[in-house]
């Protein structure tokens, strides 16, 4: 039996699909299932049962002997939330309880960390030096909560039989329809661009023309507008790596999960227009003040550690991933 927390969310629901596609149906889905906007993510999935996240540890104590692996993907991921108590409860302390349960019952686990732990990136993006985690200064409470758990995990002498923390970089792909402001730039760019497809290019909304993709203006003189770069990774690559880690005896520890190749937001926007067979139309807007001083201008995963652990499958290029996501999912509102 495989447990997936955050199973109704973006990456978690895609992980359930990955397992189903591999013939695995003995899955327990853990989440807060009260959010109706997430329900389509669970449609057409095969699983044993759903367990509310507040009841999970009671359920696990009763069923631990049947659990072979836990993917702990569930978390509060809103980078604009500044109430640290929320992150302490849902990201830090809940994950500690998952860890302790895996220790007690001898269950291997993969958990979701984040590239947000790297802060402004001045210390680099090296996942091969555990000491780096204790020097990092994340830029928001979300990143702090993820880094605090990474540090806690690295200090533990009592560990699950095998564990991996994955520092997700900029993940995009199907099943993020419910994420609102926190959805990927690909998702938002598509929804802005389709104004042109729907014949609404002249319609004004909030003072700006639909059919135009809006990117943040650079407020850093070292980067041109649209030249901010991220390591964008397709969610199908993410779940492929997680499946690999479940099935291969890799060394326990923290691993980056990006492509290892940073791309600009202009590249991304142009890829969305290309996937829609439309001419590019891009407008730059000011970065919101509430995130401006916490904005990352460059992220790029060092991927040697995962490759040396035996993961050799090539990642989707940005263009390949955007084309599949737009044409295979977004155009018709399809879930994965």
- Among candidates 300, 275, 247, 316, which has minimal Cα distance to 124? 300
3-class SS string, 198-231: CCCCCCEECCEECCCEEEECCCCCCCCCCCCEEC
Give the pLDDT of residue 181. Answer: 87
Tokens of 49: 């049962």
**285 backbone dihedrals φ, ψ, rounded to 5°:** -125, 155
pLDDT (tens digit per residue) in 93-116: 999 999 999 999 999 999 999 999
Pairing between β-strand 208-209 and β-strand 204-205 as defined by DSSP bridges = antiparallel
pLDDT higher than 50, residue 203: no
Question: Percentage of residues in the chain with pLDDT exceeding 90?
Answer: 83
**pLDDT, tens only, 173-182:** 999 999 988 8
| Most distant pair of Cα atoms in the chain: their distance | 62
| Domains of the chain, residue spans | 2-173+231-260+299-315
Structure tokens at 110: 């993969």
Question: pLDDT tens for residues 216-226?
Answer: 999 999 999 99
Catalytic residue among 94, 111, 125, 142: 142
Confidence of residue 210 (pLDDT cuts 50, 70, 90): low
Residue positions counted in the chain: 336
Q: What are phi and psi of 49, to 5 degrees?
A: -160, 165
CA distance 118 to 302: 12
> What SS3 class is residue 257?
strand
- The whole-model pTM stands at 0.92
Active site residue 142: yes
The answer as to CATH 3.40.50.720 being correct for domain 2-173+231-260+299-315 is yes
- Report pLDDT digits (tens) over 44-63: 999 999 999 999 999 999 99
Residue from 179, 171, 168 nearest 40 by CA: 179
- Pairwise CA distance, residues 260 & 313, whole Å: 13
- Quick one: pLDDT at residue 208? 42
DSSP 298: B
Among 50, 96, 100, 179, the one annotated catalytic? 179
């Amino acid at each position: 039996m495989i447990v997936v927390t955050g199973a109704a969310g973006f990456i978690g629901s895609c992980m359930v699909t990955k397992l189903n596609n591999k013939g695995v149906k003995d899955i327990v889905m853990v989440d807060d299932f009260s959010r109706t906007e997430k329900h389509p993510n669970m449609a057409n999935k095969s699983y044993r049962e759903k367990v509310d996240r507040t009841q999970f540890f009671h359920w696990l104590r009763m069923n631990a002997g049947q659990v072979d692996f836990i993917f702990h993907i569930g978390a509060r991921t809103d980078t604009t939330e500044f109430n640290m108590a929320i992150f302490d409860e849902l990201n830090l302390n809940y994950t500690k309880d998952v860890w302790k349960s895996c220790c007690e019952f001898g269950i291997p686990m993969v958990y979701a960390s984040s590239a947000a732990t790297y802060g402004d990136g001045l210390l680099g993006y090296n996942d091969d030096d555990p000491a780096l985690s204790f020097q990092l200064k994340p830029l928001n409470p979300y990143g702090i909560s993820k880094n605090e758990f990474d540090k806690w995990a690295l200090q533990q002498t009592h560990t699950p039989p095998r564990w991996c923390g994955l520092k997700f970089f900029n993940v995009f792909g199907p099943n993020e329809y419910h994420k609102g402001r926190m959805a990927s730039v690909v998702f938002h760019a598509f929804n802005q661009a389709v104004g042109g497809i729907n014949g609404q290019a002249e319609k004004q909304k909030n003072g700006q023309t639909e059919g135009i993709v809006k990117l943040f203006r650079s407020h850093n003189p070292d980067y041109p507008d649209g030249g901010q770069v991220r390591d964008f990774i397709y969610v199908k690559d993410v779940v492929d790596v997680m499946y690999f880690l479940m099935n291969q005896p890799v060394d326990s520890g923290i691993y980056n999960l990006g492509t290892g190749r940073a791309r600009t937001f202009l590249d991304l926007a142009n890829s969305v227009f290309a996937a829609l067979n439309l001419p590019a139309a891009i407008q730059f807007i000011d970065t919101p003040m509430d995130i401006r001083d916490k904005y990352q201008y460059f992220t790029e995963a060092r991927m040697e550690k995962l490759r040396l652990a035996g993961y050799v499958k090539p990642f989707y290029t940005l263009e390949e991933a955007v084309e599949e996501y737009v044409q295979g999912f977004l155009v018709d509102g399809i879930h994965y």
